[in-house]
Every structure is written in structure tokens, then in C-alpha cells.
Amino acid sequence: MDKLFDQIKAEIAEFTKNAEAQLEKGNKAAGTRARKNALNIAKMMKDFRKESLEAAKK
């Protein structure tokens, strides 16, 4: 679960960087990357929830 948490943090940092580039500079490619990051974060959060529930059962 630690590895997944670290991956989530890294993806959120990348999302933040790309979203800021889109908002501040109007960078359309960064917007595309930010949307992809958002999808990846959503998937990882679902995995985190599953792992968290499993850990709570133990």
C-alpha cells in the first residue's frame, strides 16, 4: 500500500504541474496531460480503496 500511496502522490504532483501550466500559460498540451493524470488518479484511488479495505479486515 505504501508503493501505491507514493504513486498517487507523484501523479497528483504531475497533475498539479500540468493543470497550472494550462491555467496560467494557456498550454493546451498540458491540459491534455492534466486530464490523463486525472484519469490515472481516479484509477489509483479505486485501487487504494480496495487495498485499504483489505488492510482493515486484517
pLDDT at 52: 96
- Residue ranges per structural domain of the chain: 2-57
pLDDT at 6: 97
pLDDT at 34: 98
CB atoms within 10 A of CB 52: 13
Q: What is the 3-state secondary structure (H, E, C) of 33-55?
A: HHHHHHHHHHHHHHHHHHHHHHH
Instruction: Please tell me what DSSP assigns to residue 28.
Output: H
pLDDT at 58 over 90: no
Give the pLDDT confidence of 6-55 residue by residue, as tens digits. Answer: 999 999 999 999 999 999 999 999 999 999 999 999 999 999 999 999 99
Find where cell 486525472 sits. Answer: 38
pTM: 0.89
